[in-house]
Amino acid sequence: MTRPEPADLRVPGDPAMGAAVDRVAYAAVTTDEVSVQRMSSLVQDPRCGALVTFDGVVRDHDEGKGVLLLDYSAHPSAQAVIEEVAAEIAERYADAILALAHRYGPLTVGESALVCAVAAPHRKLAFAACDDLVDTVKKRLPIWKHQRFDDGTDEWVGALG
């Protein structure tokens, strides 16, 4: 086994990975279908040995009630906010490349609402960045969901906080 030359070793914050703004492959609030496959394809990079994804799907229940549908509403600033969050996470996690999308509009059980993908040279960085990305999106993105339950009731839930 040959030892890599120093120039071949990657360290966190390697300038060759590019500026934070260049490592945000995609950040969108959209009515279009979103998928882990698409987000993953946007962050693939031969310098990265780890790819971590998150697929937030509509589940069939919430607090003991059966869910039929979620109808997400987005504030007009949502696109700007998701771009800000993506840039902040890329800045915080040097060497991470990320892509994310949050849907709005009506979604049924099993559909993806929030999809994130993070590629990085090493797994710990990719896991940490993806976790932070999801948490920060959930705290700051101005999107709300109107849940419709199978018992005929409904509920508005703020996605902030």
In a domain, 93, yes or no: yes
In a domain, 8, yes or no: no
Radius of gyration of the chain (CA): 18
In a domain, 12, yes or no: no
pTM check: above 0.85: yes
Q: How far apart are CA 123 and CA 88, in angstroms?
A: 20
User: How confident is residue 6, by pLDDT bands cut at 50, 70 and 90?
Assistant: very low
Q: How many residues are recorded in the chain?
A: 161
Our count of domains for the chain comes to: 1
CATH number at residue 39: 3.90.1170.40
64 — alpha (psi -120 to 50), left (phi > 0) or beta? left
The model's pLDDT over 9-25, given as tens digits with 9 standing for 90+, comes to 445 677 888 888 889 99
In a domain, 104, yes or no: yes
In a domain, 7, yes or no: no
